[in-house]
Structure 1
Amino acid sequence: MSIQILQYEFLGPIPLDEWGPPMEKLVFLVMSRDKDRFNILYVDDCEKTSDKSFFVQHSGFKCWIEKSGSEKLLYLAILPLFEASREHRENVLNKIKMHYNPPCNAGEIVEPKPDYVVRKSKDSTEKFSCPCCGSDMKAEQFLEKSTLYRCSSCGISDTKLNS
């Protein structure tokens, strides 16, 4: 079973009391079940644990119980990210926190860093005409593998791969 959160495919949800170690390099969601719906209460990442009482001893456990009403209504969903860096996991966390605003993560929301690199515009020697009006297109942004051009007359934009 899996659940889609933003563009990420999480495994679960499973009842929290059915969880068993180990966990390594993943993002996890603690959710409460309300009939046919799951509400995200808390999101975090885990570098590594083999402790069976990881969730019961977690600092957020009391909040999870308060928000769900019962330990039996708590569920766990995980997103394994074995090859991902700590920074990537934090970026996933921040995106989920910003979009869902989990009540037990209150005050932890940080702007996520973009997954791409934007370079400042510089004069481009390549010139080409606007497909709409025929005016010159001017380089507006240089990205890692492409350049964004904008027409000075009609405002249409176009992207070209860098060679």
Structure 2
Amino acid sequence: MSIQILQYEFLGPIPLKEWGPPMEKLVYLILSRDKDKFNIIYIGDCEKTEDKAFFEQNPNYKCWVEKSGSEKSLYLAILPLFESSAEKRQNVFSKILTHYKPLCNAADIPETKPDYVVRSSESTDSEKISCLCCGAEMKPEKVLEKSTLFRCTGCGLSDTKINS
């Protein structure tokens, strides 16, 4: 049996209690079963383990049980990457983490910042508007019914402000 996550084909899912060592060079998912649906609640990677208690000793184990409702609802899916580097496993880990944002990986999810800047509304009469590109002063070029078009005196960039 297998499960497709993004473009990766994971083996499983199998009940977590049925897992047995060894495990080597893989990315794993902890899933919570909800009737006929599986939800990803944790993602991790493993270099190598022979420890039968590998999952129970994970610091997030309590979170897994809490989010799934019981230990019986916990399932495991693995993506073997035997010939891969730690960097490749980390790349797969990051893609899945970013896309699915598993609840028990909250500390691992990077805070995303927008690639734009929100400026506060400025009065065109009392405050000067600086160009985001070069920092020069922007002058009003055209006043419309609900907005004003500004043009930079330095680089020529234009910007529109809503009239208040």
TM-score range, shorter chain: 0.5 to 0.7
Matched, 1:78 2:78: yes
Amino acid at match of 2:50: S
Which runs of structure 2 are paired with 1:10-159 in the superposition (5 Å)?
10-110=10-110
Partner of 1:7: 7
Matched-pair contact (CA < 8 Å) for 1:14–1:76: yes
TM-score (norm 1): 0.67
Deviation at residue 57 of structure 1 after TM alignment: 1.0
Q: Displacement of 1:110 after TM fit?
A: 4.5
C-alpha offsets along residues 110-143 of structure 1, whole Å, 9 cap, x if unaligned? 59xxxxxxxxxxxxxxxxxxxxxxxxxxxxxxxx
User: 1:107 Cα deviation (Å)?
Assistant: 2.6
Please say if residues 26 and 79 of structure 1, whose CA atoms lie closer than 8 Å, have aligned partners that are also in contact. yes
Cα deviation for residue 78 of structure 1 reads 0.1
Distance 1:64 1:5 in 2: 19
* Shift of residue 109, structure 1, vs aligned partner: 2.4
Structure 1's consecutive aligned runs of 4 or more residues displaced over 6 angstroms after TM superposition are none
Q: CA RMSD in A?
A: 1.1
| Structure 1 residue ranges without an equivalent (≥5) | 112-163
SS of the counterpart of 1:45? strand
Offset at 1:68? 0.3
Aligned length: 111
For the 8 Å contact 1:32–1:75, the answer to whether it is kept is yes
Identity of aligned residues (%): 73
Q: Using the alignment, how far apart are the partners of 1:17 and 1:5 within structure 2? A: 22
Q: Which runs of 5+ in 2 are unaligned?
A: 112-164
- In structure 1, the residue matched to 2:144 is none
CA distance in 1, matches of 2:100, 2:34: 16
Q: Cα offset for 1:102?
A: 0.1
